[in-house]
Structure 1
């Protein structure tokens, strides 16, 4: 019987020792004492509205259908009225909390009187009750929701520690820290900072050459030089595209039962190109929403509108075409709300929004902008995206990218063969559809007729704008629109820091989190608009700050008082995105193929996953693994089948791209450890790097030191190096030739003939140990 090689036999005391100094800090739950002093003046926006929204608006908010006792607390005019059921009593009496029924009810101990009612399982804290009392005493003054007010310019505040700030961001951050009695961290080491910067800007680890150059460069401008270098790399566009794919719900399959193959990857190539050439955010969004409606649009601008076609599409027979058409329009409406406005529009599809001032009428007015689109059915019986399209379909909403296009205006599209490349794009119907409120969101339950418009609570639609998707794009970038710039700068902030200024990046409404630094958010939003919506400039501004450069070390005081890092008193230690973990493994081993763009690829995957979860007749019913260079492409290019996403990606919290997602969760599960221990890509990378190092004319210590630097992006400590050397010698002495041959067979990358297989196998397990350190998959 053939002996089974235990590739994970190194797990034990060694890993325990290596992990000791780095594990367990990121997700430890600790109690957090209240940092905020009781305010001198209570703000409705920042102190009272969140309490009412969480505890009261479900029954006493914007949704008329759910409203109880005729009481509405979200509007000043309604909240001051006498109660319908008791005309002599008022919910709020400005200046008089003890005559205000709201205050009396939240203090009541009578189950029949107390609010929120006991069966709601909601209860106000003593601090919240005192805030409401103080607010009523001060006059119970209402304010419009902060996010619906245009950003206001704030001068960077004065701070006590004038030596710490580098740019304007730092003044806002430090001011809040000083107010609560905390201090920023010391700067990170040059090695740790370079690793963080490289992953944040390119999704790749730094090379040895970059490390050596940066560590030895004493020039005061060395850091900025490195920032500029990384922003100029093509890998920057690929890194930013990972974030945008989640928002745009990009996938390589249609998503419903058959879940067949689709070719939208040329649109992904455009996104990479747009980020790399630093297309302004205004043009980046306008082209994606309405590039086809621009005057004399180029083929590039039309290709950009593939953004609107990335939603799930049915290819099944015997379905109601209109029902699915409405679902596509709904998806586009919801995506604009969540991705571009940070508002949960979808809550108003069936009824008035229960918390935000978005009516069902508002929803279908925005819906109307997308309701006049040519929705030619994408059926496998009608179009084969690999073979091309019949003459009757050779018009909107598809474009063909020809070889001439790929060598000219669309030279950024990685079209490697001469087969037809068809991409779904946008196109308007010749005649206008009528638009109606859909009662309860049912596709054929028509209510009142509506016309393209936008919610007045955000910003009314300028009558000079065309009532088309292009007009909607103009409205988004109106200087008075309070959300577009705020929402984007906040998303970029969260991409870099791991926590948003508004941590609910897809919800700036009343149920979203309040901004931790509202003045900074407004300053960034205005600065971004005034500087041409320049994305690279924004990214550089953030990573150049002292706030970004802090170390990850967390003192016990900060653990207790700022455990969620709301005040950015230290750098985050989140694990890398799923795609970046793959990039790290391939890049550090020398396997990464740096090719930009092109078709999605199918790397190693456990057998039978697609076959067990796919209906018969699908073009993707069987998983056919790629070979050669396609096995070693970036994580961005991993084939995304919606119904059966790549397991190694999903386990590390990647989106399945079913719908727009503005953020990913960060979890730690045993499955993640099993991926790093057993994934063929990780084991193959360990083998290939080991083989290359064994062939180098260097000592064992130098080989291990080099592998450590490639994977963890720093020099090992003396104790770490001693442990790894000892482990290597132990494995070299115990491994048999048969075991070494079997280990050398992992993966398809060719094994060099003239190499000592036992030495390779021993070093391979040392390298695999390094890949399994938490530090290797952490950004900092």
Structure 2
């Protein structure tokens, strides 16, 4: 017990109490598992002298008799007289994990927030600065709320109003700026920075994330509409269930290594997958809970009451999240839904005309190709390509019976034959039947320098009616479920689709070259094609199309990865949140993915949760004053900084919840304080005692961001594009 007793616990392991022994140490593995010696880590390290942490590290090792006795004791149930009924008590005295209680207000000020601040100033012997002048105030409010400087006319108008009635003029100024559409842009920028959002995935590949800006625009709208913060959280975790599908871009905001770039080595694939899930964990932990959850990936958290079991239980909630895209689920009144409803009839009419006039219609748009043809019953389709080298990914075949059901899926009994199977040595051939993505994936390549054209044959188990096929060359994104997303500009060589007829001959159903030639000969069809392309281009901007906002699958069981290694899985854990915060959500390994995420969102937004409101109001304070009440805004744990005004933080968090989680109301309440209105001028006593203005005896001066400087210059020059949202340039 010298190293693992009451006074000292090396590696966090304590062996003088049965519940703590069963819990284990920092490794996250239980030291003893009653009746299961093969799973008891303690027995493992004392039995193997070559173990990387063989115990004891010094002195005589246990004899064979000692080890046998220990093994038998574990096998018999690890009986410990006097401790068999003791339960492990999870507790912590760290301030941020304590229940949120609204503190009583100090006396001395009409403004509750100023009352807390002034009490600290008096205790520190500091005198508060006088209020800033009107010109400084309007500049401060504009930059803080919208990131844009006031115009000379706005400054003059405010100075006049402020002279007549300072309180009303200042309050009206805040209201006007909060109602500006640029407020959402400014504060969305803060949020996107916190979650590390970008339109590329980072790392060496730095691939473009298709239409990732959908999520950015959602965040802008959420701040402009003052979406309650608890709703904002829920939508970002489970928006696909709430008709706000764009919001789940939050889950895939962080950097990641795309699956397509890690190669085919199984261990590399598993490691990359574990890393992507960890990115989700870190995004949620830092932004919404203010905890460094990633520190529990390889062992129990060194400082905070988060075990390795907690970490992997949390990953079990989000194991179904894939860093990929989908068409967002949108409510019927969503602007993109309305626009699609307006233009669909026109698209369908022109598609029908093209089919009737020339027998088929080619939609060969960029990275995704979609070709429709007359309804045809066949047992075999053949696709021939015009180039000897072609990479095809995600082929799908559809019929009139169900326009969304992929008839080429391996689960339907469909098989695939490709020309590359018949090539001799020296050919490059790769083939995979990929049930996870629900598609066929292959590389069909002729021999080097050969003029042979590759082909693929799709063999159905029985004759079936088909009328459309499509394929993609980009594994990172999933195919769209309709034609809203096709993009002008062809990257593919010519190809044609043929069906096997009853007499054994092949009938051409569609071909890219034939389509182009027919359109040239038929002015009416050519005009309809151009109109259709124009409509599709319009929908590309306005329709509910494919976006990098996450793709969801049903995960299997989740296991604790010993030392974070996917190659060393241990015990299975259920989907759950942190045990220290009553995180049992009543879920198991068979619970559906959407239910897991929604249950977690409900747990996180419960008013009794000790972290959620505290973290967000602290972040708001940080953006208003330059430093949070807790300076480490993403770490409320033991290793993070302590709050400078703990009672003020709890009062703000309580007020935030009681006011319906309104971010705009919280911003205004803080900006109405005398602390926010103070002059930034230095004063000798204050600079000696509190040079960083931590206690807010003056308004802390700080540099503005590069974006603010840039936008200010553009606005002054009259060249600022004030359009809200849309595709990035």
1:447 to 562, 570, 573: 570
Q: Quick one: structure 1 residues 384 and 227, their matched pair in 2 at CA, closer, same or farther if it must change by over 3 Å?
A: farther
Deviations 1:625-657 (A, max 9, x none): xxxxxxxxxxxxxxxxxxxxxxxxxxxxxxxxx
Name 2:117's counterpart in structure 1.
173
Alignment of 1:311 with 2:254, yes or no, is yes
Contact 1:388 1:421 (C-alpha < 8 Å) held by counterparts:
no
Query: Distance in 2 between the 1:281 and 1:212 partners?
Result: 36
Q: CA deviation at 1:564?
A: 2.2
Structure 1 residue runs without a partner (length 5+): 1-58, 79-141, 405-413, 602-780
Distance 1:63 1:265, change over 3 A: farther
- Tell me the TM-score normalized by structure 2: 0.57
Give the Cα separation in 2 of the matches to 1:376 and 1:592: 33
C-alpha spacing 1:377/1:567, structure 2 compared with 1 (3 Å): closer
Q: Deviations over 1:151-181 (max 9, x none)?
A: 111122012xx4xx5x211111111111221
Q: Which residue of 2 aligns with 1:287?
A: 235
Residues 322-337 of structure 1: matches in 2 within 5 Å? Answer: 322-337=270-285
Give 1:427 shift.
4.5
Is the 8 Å Cα contact of residues 269 and 598 (structure 1) preserved in structure 2?
yes
Matched, 1:491 2:619: yes
- Computing the radius of gyration from Cα coordinates, the structure with the larger value is 2
SS in 2 for 1:267: helix
- In the alignment, the residues of structure 1 paired with residue 186 and residue 479 of structure 2 have an alpha-carbon distance, to the nearest angstrom, of 28
Deviation per CA, 1:588-628: give whole Å up to 9, x if none: 22211111112222xxxxxxxxxxxxxxxxxxxxxxxxxxx
Q: 1:270 to 1:229 in 2, by over 3 A?
A: same
Indicate how the Cα distance of structure 1 residues 476 and 183 shifts in structure 2: closer, same or farther if over 3 A, else same: same
Q: CA RMSD in A?
A: 3.5
SS, match of residue 674 in structure 2:
coil
- 2:36 matched to which residue of 1? none
Q: Which stretch shifts more, 514-523 or 442-451?
A: 442-451
Query: 1:636-655 counterparts in 2 under 5 A?
Result: none
2 CA distance for matches of 1:452 and 1:273?
A: 32
Match of 1:474 in 2: 602
Is the alpha carbon distance of 1:384 and 1:503 closer, same or farther for their aligned partners in structure 2, counting shifts above 3 Å? farther
Aligned residue in 1 for 2:226: 278
Q: Does 2:547 match 1:423?
A: yes
1:573 is displaced (CA, Å) by 1.1
Task: Tell me if structure 2 keeps the 8 A contact 1:502–1:516.
Answer: yes
Q: Secondary structure at the match of 2:699?
A: coil
2:6·2:14 contact (CA, 8 Å) conserved in 1?
no
2:323 maps to 1:367? no
CA gap of 1:63–1:478, structure 2 versus 1, over 3 A, is farther
Q: Say if 2:233 and 2:605, in contact at 8 Å, map to a contact too.
A: no
Distance in 1, matches of 2:726 and 2:305, equals 43
Distance 1:496 1:595 in 2: 25
**CA 1:375–1:180 in 2, change beyond 3 Å: closer, same or farther?**
closer
Alpha carbons of structure 1 residues 542 and 401: separation in structure 2 relative to 1, 3 Å: farther
Q: Number of aligned residue pairs: give it.
A: 454
Match of residue 723 from structure 1? none
For the residues of structure 2 that align with 1:63 and 1:470, how far apart are their CA atoms? 42
Conserved in 2, the CA contact under 8 Å of 1:289 and 1:305? yes
* Corresponding residue for residue 188 of structure 2: 241
1:187–1:440 Cα change, 3 Å: same
Residue 509 of structure 1: SS of its match in structure 2? coil
CA distance in 2, matches of 1:514, 1:420: 45
Q: How does 1:11-22 map to 2 (within 5 A)?
A: none
Q: Does 1:252 align with 2:199?
A: yes
Aligned with residue 297 of structure 2, among 326, 339, 349: 349
- Conservation of the 8 A alpha-carbon contact between 1:62 and 1:353: no
1:384 and 1:316 map into 2 onto residues whose CA distance is 24
Find 1:186's aligned residue among 125, 130, 146.
130
- Structure 2 CA distance for partners of 1:397 and 1:338, relative to 1, 3 Å: farther
> 1:373: Cα distance to partner?
3.1
Match of 2:172 in 1: 225
2:108 is aligned with 1:155: no
Q: Distance in 2 between matches of 1:215 and 1:598?
A: 36
Q: Secondary structure at the match of 1:195?
A: helix
Q: CA deviation at 1:552?
A: 0.5
1:374 & 1:231 partners in 2: Cα distance?
A: 36
Structure 2: unaligned runs, 5 residues or longer: 24-90, 327-363, 371-393, 397-436, 440-476, 486-537
Go from structure 1 to structure 2 and tell me whether the alpha carbon gap of 1:600 and 1:536 turns closer, same or farther (over 3 Å shift).
same
2:633 matches 1:505: yes
From 660, 685, 688, give the equivalent of 1:560: 688
Distance 1:474 1:397, change over 3 A: farther
Q: 1:517 to 1:439 in 2, by over 3 A?
A: same
**Shift of residue 579 of structure 1?**
1.4
Cα gap change, 1:154 to 1:222, in 2 (>3 Å): same
Q: SS where residue 725 of structure 2 aligns?
A: coil
Find the counterpart in structure 1 of residue 38 from structure 2: none
Greater CA drift, 466-475 or 194-203: 466-475
TM-score scaled to structure 1, two decimals? Answer: 0.54
The reply on whether 1:593 has 2:721 as its aligned counterpart is: yes
Q: 1:473-494: CA deviations, max 9, x gaps?
A: 0010112210000000000100
Following superposition, the deviation at residue 335 of structure 1 comes to: 1.3
Question: In the TM superposition, what is the alpha-carbon distance from 1:249 to its structure 2 partner?
Answer: 1.7
Partner-residue secondary structure (3-state), 1:586: helix
Residue equivalent to 1:209: 153
| 1:433 Cα deviation from its structure 2 partner | 0.7
Change in CA separation of 1:252 and 1:550 when aligned onto 2, cut-off 3 Å: same
CA 1:64–1:470 in 2, change beyond 3 Å: closer, same or farther?
farther
**Structure 1 residue aligned with 2:11, among 66, 78, 82?**
66
Q: CA deviation at 1:246?
A: 1.2
Change over 3 Å in CA distance of 1:385–1:235 after alignment to 2: farther
* CA contact 2:325–2:547 (8 Å) conserved in 1: no
Distance 1:417 1:310, change over 3 A: same
Q: Structure 2: how far apart are the matches of 1:479 and 1:184?
A: 35
